[in-house]
Structure 1
């Protein structure tokens, strides 16, 4: 009875206040890390601000405790928007105080990039200490967990975030949707999904950290890379996977854990035996494997077909290194993590291409799996558009043909295709709008388009590749207006356009 009463009391505190409290408490992590490395000033800043913000959040929780909203799902969606726009302001306070010589807008945009799992940075890597890099990774890791839980507890009931396609597919097949938290109460669904997803997310992060440390990385850099891999933020302490100390063994471990951004099968309530049984039939995994395999092989073959005049390695070892460098980088950008392999330079030399930015942009646009930490359009939506195109071509060739058998049962219904098409068009319009807005601030068209795609797909390293890293050459050179536009685009890309449209729908507020 006491547990039930306590649960009722907890549910009366707004979700945004709970998230603010968790973020405040997490400031003790970099505080402890700074003390261990004898950076006592940084430790004091994080400890004091963590304590102050935790106290203020507690006071707000007491003052804002109230009866449950008449539409809890709507209030949760509003809280999710608030978390992506307001919490970065809290997270930016210690960063701004430690750096001292930067402006608040830079610290805020940096934290928006972290919490939206976009990554990228306004600062040169050497300007930030390991503690500040760890804080960026911690914020990004929490942002990834937030989106995993929100996908099940908030977006799924609203048929947003790609669930509009998965639901239509499951209903067409006549299969039961066993991966959903089966409860009509949004509060219970939120807590239950956190209890299911949170431990798995933490265990996977710890396992990758152990692998990277065993492979030769320092513990701090290993935990940063582990958190950034699971959250697909791409945040790193120095130069990503290049010269990370773990070598190709570390890259292989990261490659394996990036697969969790392709499909959400690891974060469901099913037994592990059932998950492994369904793994070969997972459509998103098959699509990702086809993309990674085909792109890697095509770039490898280009060495003989189109780039014979390029001075490149022709031995078997060079070919294998080029193949691995391409495969790792392709999967990294497909999951919107944005890391380059140590052998990516070898792969570019082998294929005769300098930096195939168009290829990387296309991979990021495809994105990862539904209800994962990856951004982009999502593989299942891409598949829905492909399947519909194939269906229309079949009708053109055989206008009176009748489909039957297993193929007809597995085809997507028009409801799922229409939802995927609407999202794709809104996504394209978003790229155009953000590109235009950035161009108005003085950014060149090419850079504006790359910045728009990097923000809307939550692949910040794209901007680093195109513009450079650091205040002298990269995102830090943008005007304040351009930085705010880029930050807004990151929030839009993380929350997705359909969710924002739902917030502006009058019927959504009446109900």
Structure 2
């Protein structure tokens, strides 16, 4: 029975998972007196559950000519078409928004971006916030599984930086001829699901212990594990968990810095120690450098203003910088409750370009974080370091082993290509948004927020908070597709447009 289910088309399985997921907000709505929302989500479960069964019966014997191509196109459809189904109960429950806004909200959640059209999120019921967080949580798990089961064999999603040719001139693409992607999806899902669910439960319980309400703690736990930054309270400033809640969340940010924290040994190249992982070391280095820079900036600003008030204010400024830097580096977008306290302490506002740069850098490959990814930044850093060495010693020979040389050469080459594609994507989205009437400065922040899947940038990085509800509908559609592009990455989209990929 299980083998028959896993043999169904990937998109059908995603539809079934989305339909079953509607039961959670339905039960929560019924338990908390939000009967309208609970009833709508239950009807959605029944309607889309029946639709999924009918489609499953119609496609039970469907066998695509290329399973790898089929799963890659399904990923594209999952982030564009599936949110239509997920948006229906949300749209009906809210009642006062257009279906485009509801679809935008679901695309934003499922791509773990976390941008929202609601300027006052507390006006929504907790059942609707739970659904937003749950959709983002499912999208984060899909990214975990798809990165290892689909993108890794195709040398996409950052794996191309460390890939090495197989004997005989082949590549990792040949793995798809040996291991069926459907089998890989089932195997990796079974291995990763207990880890993903267990980490979410641990963080949920920890946040409740620190004083947070159960439903808000669950929403924040899902938002941290998926790096969606979705909150029912408008951020951590209004959360009841306080400093210890932020401390606990900071620990869980590590799962967005390196895939070795949860998937060590699942891919052949992932057997090294976490402390030796270049992504983890690069991420920790950025945390120390950027946090130190921000703290010293506020410290000297406080001295100039003669407003140094004591060790407590300095510690709060340091902690607010550390937590917020880690949050935006992992593209979560949570702002520490002490973040603005640092500005009050020194009288200096923190430049939004720092947060934009952190979001552009992003977290580790095969994690829920977006951005350029730390491994690509590491490859460019090592290549630059080697070039500087050659300026001093032109005939020197680079050491550190074969893998290091491959990262400095081929890895840096493909990383630079991706970086240029990412930069061109930002320019393209900015131009498209400007043509719809969005101001140039706002279009830049929105483009980076969408492509790096860091929705809270729109509220924090700009000089004044950007209201997504106030931009034209065409601009919302452009942002939604930019989120999909940022989630799948440009190389995956280009692979779909490659004629050889369809011909073979």
How far apart are the structure 1 equivalents of 2:62 and 2:340? 58
Structure 1 distance, partners of 2:67, 2:19, is 24
- Bigger drift between 215-224 and 86-95 goes to 86-95
Aligned to 1:136: 132
Match of 1:147? Answer: 143
Determine the structure 2 residue equivalent to 1:449. Answer: 444
State the Cα distance separating 1:402 from its structure 2 match: 2.4
Secondary structure of 2:216 counterpart: helix
Go from structure 1 to structure 2 and tell me whether the alpha carbon gap of 1:307 and 1:318 turns closer, same or farther (over 3 Å shift).
closer
Give the deviation of 1:182 after TM superposition.
Answer: 12
Question: Is residue 482 of structure 2 the alignment partner of residue 486 of structure 1?
Answer: no
Aligned CA distance change for structure 1 residues 297 and 413 (closer, same or farther; 3 Å): closer
1:128-187 deviations in whole A, cap 9, x for unaligned?
A: 11110000000000000001000000100110000011324x99xxxxx9xx99962211
Contact 1:364 1:457 in 2 (8 A): yes
Separation in structure 2 between the aligned mates of residue 481 and residue 432 of structure 1, nearest angstrom: 17
Contact kept in structure 1, 2:301 and 2:348, CA below 8 Å: no
Q: CA RMSD in A?
A: 2.3
**Which of the numbers 287, 291, 297 marks the counterpart of 2:292?**
297
Structure 1 position 446, deviation (Å): 0.5
Superposed CA deviations along residues 107-135 of structure 1, whole A, max 9, x for unmatched, are 11011100000002101212211110000
Instruction: Output the CA distance in 1 between the equivalents of 2:346 and 2:330.
Output: 23
Partners of 2:178 and 2:233 in 1: how far apart? 44
Structure 2 residue 273 is the aligned partner of structure 1 residue 278: yes
* Aligned-pair CA distance for 1:73: 0.9
Indicate the SS of the match to 1:354: coil
Q: Is the 8 A contact 1:456 1:493 kept in 2?
A: yes
State the match for 2:26 in structure 1.
Answer: 31
Q: Structure 2: how far apart are the matches of 1:107 and 1:489?
A: 17
- Aligned-partner Cα distance in 1 for 2:404–2:290: 27
**What is the CA–CA distance in structure 2 between the aligned matches of 1:255 and 1:101, rounded to whole Å?**
36
CA gap of 1:183–1:203, structure 2 versus 1, over 3 A, is: farther
1:498 and 1:187, CA in 2 relative to 1: closer, same or farther beyond 3 A? Answer: same
Query: Separation in 1 of the partners of 2:439 and 2:469?
Result: 15
Offset, 1:476: 0.2
Q: Single out whichever of 308-317 and 80-89 deviates more from structure 2.
A: 308-317
Taking structure 2 as the reference length, what is the TM-score of the superposition?
Answer: 0.93
Aligned residue for 2:241?
A: 246
Q: Structure 2: how far apart are the matches of 1:90 and 1:286? A: 40
Q: Is the 8 A contact 1:212 1:222 kept in 2?
A: yes
Instruction: Note the alpha carbon deviations across 1:251-280, whole angstroms, 9 max, x for none.
Output: 011000011000111332549xx9998122
Structure 2 regions of 5+ residues with no counterpart? Answer: 167-171
- TM-score (norm: length of structure 1): 0.92
- Structure 2: how far apart are the matches of 1:13 and 1:296? 48
Matched, 1:346 2:341: yes
Give the Å deviation of 1:465: 2.4
Number of matched pairs: 493
Q: Which segment drifts farther, 407-416 or 193-202?
A: 407-416
Residue 430 (structure 1) shift? 0.2
Q: State the Cα distance separating 1:382 from its structure 2 match.
A: 0.4
User: 2:30, 2:38 within 8 Å by CA — same for their partners in 1?
Assistant: yes
Counterpart of 1:504 in structure 2 is: 497
Shift of the 437–397 alpha-carbon distance from structure 1 to 2, 3 Å rule, reads: same
Is contact 1:181–1:192 with CA below 8 Å preserved after alignment? no
Q: Gaps (5+ residues) in structure 1?
A: 172-176
Q: Does the CA-based 8 Å contact 1:439-1:448 persist in structure 2?
A: yes
Cα deviation digits, residues 386-445 of structure 1 (max 9, x gap): 1111111211221122234x3676342422111101100000000000000000000111
Q: How does 1:206-285 map to 2 (within 5 A)?
A: 206-268=201-263, 270=265, 278-285=273-280
Distance 1:321 1:228 in 2: 24
Please state whether the residue corresponding to 2:273 is helix, strand or coil: helix
Aligned match of 2:91: 96
1:215 & 1:228 partners in 2: Cα distance?
Answer: 17
CA distance 1:181–1:145, shift in 2 (3 Å): farther
- Would you say the 8 A contact 1:113–1:121 is kept in 2? yes
> Quick one: distance in 2 between partners of 1:436 and 1:427?
14
Distance 1:441 1:275, change over 3 A: closer
